[in-house]
Structure 1
């Protein structure tokens, strides 16, 4: 089995999983069988890219769960790259909590001096 054939079979597993035709237990067995076939045919482990795709396929339900409260609702949530980016974009630094009051007023010491109005004589 070549790398191209192996990747095509991984693509087939992804297609069947996204279509809902491959339940979790059957998917695990198919992934294990596919990996064993590759090792028997080549005598070595698949490359890291293929193993990464298979690992993500194992965690398909967790990675595709788009619940915004995943962190709060699950004990050990697994987030996709996109979910991590969205979470980091929504976070605010503690500096804001230290400097801005609950009334919305900025309590930092003023560093810029205001211009005094010039008087006309």
Structure 2
């Protein structure tokens, strides 16, 4: 099956792949690259081939989504279309003085044996 081809996916896998692709496209990654990224997640096989953060070279375990304006204020232009791990994104936000916690609306964790999706339903002040 060529990368990006979802014909063998179950309906649930297709919905998940579309959501992941949308998250990457929302961050400025073009459609072909977003499909390539999703193609690296071997859905249903129990294994995950992760991209690596362009700053620290860690495997990406957290897929998160922030609005484009927040991404643009945090990420340097040279890295705007790159994969960044949540740890590096957080460090850049701190350096640039950008508060993004209220803008984080979804977070996915891809472990070695399970994938978990988190959605913000209520924000609690600390």
Q: What's the TM-score once normalised by structure 2's chain length?
A: 0.23
Computing the radius of gyration from Cα coordinates, the structure with the larger value is 1
More strand, by proportion: 2
More helix, by proportion: 1
